[in-house]
Amino acid sequence: MTVVPQGGGDVARGGGSGSLYDVLELILDRGLVIDIFVRVSLVGIEILKIDARVVVASVDTYLRFAEACNRLDLETGRKAPAQLTDIVGDTVESGAKGKSKGALSGAAEAITDSLKAVTGGDSDDEDEEEEEREPVRKRRPAKRASKRTSTRERE
Amino acid sequence: MGVYVYSVTDKQHPLRLDGLRGVGESPGPLRAVTAGSLCAVVSDAPEDLRPKRRDVGAHQEVQERLMADGTVLPLRFGLVAATDDEVRSALEERAEEYTDRLLELAGCAEYNLKVAQDEDSLLRQILAESPPARQLNDDIRNGTADPSAAMRLGELVAQEVQARQEALGAGVVEALRPFARDVDSTQPTGSDFLNVSFLVADDQEEAFLTTELSVAHQLGEGLDFRLNGPLPPYSFV
């Protein structure tokens, strides 16, 4: 397996065991199954847990987001996030050369449309009943420390 | 003791298996079990096989070697048949299905893309673009908010996060879909918000990679794109 080199932004360069990590769920959970064969037990899997992203709309999640927002240093951070709409405009311009022209404008349109749906639309979901579930704690694999516990409301 | 099965290929596949390690602590040699026009690549199964890094890696290496010379149907890790005869009859039983699948997947590889987003930069973006969230956040920081403000802010932000990531994910998939024969989205894990596999034909590979690189580059701020491939088509067998 090769890891495709990436450019730009915070794009990762995988390699070695890091990339095995990223394809692990394909090897363990996808692939052809022949049902008369026996599958070895995956209990006690040593490499890591395949941790499903826990998705809860809970008091815990909300408070965590609120705290994270309160903590942000907005003044120094103001420069950080380029507006997505700017980026899309940029995509259209800079994408207008080379063989991937059509692809890039297509990409830009797709992304613009999706974003319009978000930023322009009303939040119809807002009044939906709040689902409250047990906040679930995940074990994180050591090498991928992450701040996020959950963000989505339901799956 | 049984027979560990790695993959199904066409009988015409050159099967360069030399120098490859199978699964297990002291792995036996890899060999082929042939039935009709199909062929299964197997090795003797070790006692008490566990999904260790070494063994998952060995499984994957076999697929990659085979993939270099032809089309392969990779099995899921950990499938063990009782005997070679059982492998043979499994191939015979579904011969037509496997043959068709091999034809459909000829000249294609899987690319898996995972995207994670830096939470702080996303939250900054939301506060900058959502006046109600900004107001609530300011009130809380100034100590002028009522006690329920944190909950309302959190809920608002959670909804924004979800909507933005879904839109971003959908946009990335739509940008790449024209270069893929098939697309398979799965539940992201960890801090990823997108986990999607593309089945890409050889003649589209360059356009796919160029576009992916451009999308990653353009949206790169605060985002972590991890593209792996070419992989055996685990998600499309």
Stated as kind and residue range, the H or E segment containing B218 is helix B202-218
Q: Please state, in angstroms and rounded to a whole number, the distance separating the CA atoms of residues B132 and B172.
A: 28
A91-102 pLDDT, tens digit per residue, is 444 433 334 434
Q: A9 and B220 in contact by Cβ < 8 A?
A: yes
User: In this complex, is the C-beta atom of A39 within 8 Å of any C-beta atom belonging to chain B?
Assistant: yes
Residue to substitute from B140, B226, B235, interface A, most A β-carbons within 10 A = B226
Q: Please state, in angstroms and rounded to a whole number, the distance separating the CA atoms of residues B198 and B194.
A: 13
Q: How many other CB atoms are there within 10 angstroms of residue A127's CB atom?
A: 7
Domain boundary among B106, B126, B154: B106
Domain boundary among B63, B88, B106: B106
Domain identity same for B52 and B129: no
Domain identity same for B196 and B159: yes
pLDDT confidence of residue B47: 83
Report chain B's mean pLDDT, rounded to a whole number: 94
pLDDT confidence of residue A145: 36
pLDDT confidence of residue B236: 97
Interface predicted TM-score (ipTM): 0.89
Q: In chain A, where are the structural domains located?
A: 17-119
Domain identity same for B119 and B216: yes
A125-135 pLDDT, tens digit per residue, is 433 333 334 34
Domain identity same for B178 and B208: yes
CA of B78 vs chain A CAs: smallest distance (Å):
5
Instruction: Please identify every stretch of chain A with a pLDDT value under 70, giving residue numbers as ranges.
Output: 1-18, 43-57, 75-155
Q: A119 and B153 in contact by Cβ < 8 A?
A: no
Domain identity same for B113 and B229: yes
What range defines the domain where residue B126 resides? 109-236
CA of A134 vs chain B CAs: smallest distance (Å):
16
A50: which chain B residues are within 8 Å (Cβ-Cβ)? 189
CA of A124 vs chain B CAs: smallest distance (Å):
11
Domain identity same for B60 and B113: no
Q: How many other CB atoms are there within 10 angstroms of residue B145's CB atom?
A: 17
Domain identity same for B210 and B123: yes
B35-52 pLDDT, tens digit per residue, is 999 999 999 998 878 878
**Total domain count for chain B?**
2
B79-119 pLDDT, tens digit per residue, is 999 999 999 999 999 999 999 999 999 999 999 999 999 99
Q: Count residue pairs from A and B with Cβ separation < 8 A.
A: 336
pLDDT confidence of residue A11: 36
The CATH number of the domain holding residue B154 is 3.30.70
The 3-state secondary structure of chain A reads CCECCCCCCCCCCCCCHHHHHHHHHHHHHCCECCCCCEECCCCCCCCCCCCECCCCCCHHHHHHHHHHHHHCCHHHHCCCCCCHHHHHHHHHHHCCCCCCHHHHHHHHHHHHHHHHHHHHCCCHHHHCCCCCCCCCCCCCCCCCCCCCCCCCCCC
Q: Please state, in angstroms and rounded to a whole number, the distance separating the CA atoms of residues B201 and B111.
A: 10
Q: A26 and B51 in contact by Cβ < 8 A?
A: no
Q: A47 and B51 in contact by Cβ < 8 A?
A: yes
Residue to substitute from A27, A50, A109, A115, interface B, most B β-carbons within 10 A = A27
User: In this complex, is the C-beta atom of A85 within 8 Å of any C-beta atom belonging to chain B?
Assistant: no
pLDDT confidence of residue B180: 98
% of chain B with per-residue pLDDT over 90: 86
Domain boundary among B39, B74, B106: B106
Q: A12 and B212 in contact by Cβ < 8 A?
A: no
A86: which chain B residues are within 8 Å (Cβ-Cβ)? none
Domain identity same for B125 and B220: yes
Domain identity same for B122 and B230: yes
Domain identity same for B124 and B11: no
Domain identity same for B140 and B180: yes
Which chain A residue lies closest to B205 (C-alpha atoms)?
A: A4
Domain identity same for B6 and B51: yes
Rounded to an integer, what is the distance from CA A93 to the centroid of its chain?
A: 27
User: In this complex, is the C-beta atom of A91 within 8 Å of any C-beta atom belonging to chain B?
Assistant: yes
Q: How many other CB atoms are there within 10 angstroms of residue A137's CB atom?
A: 9
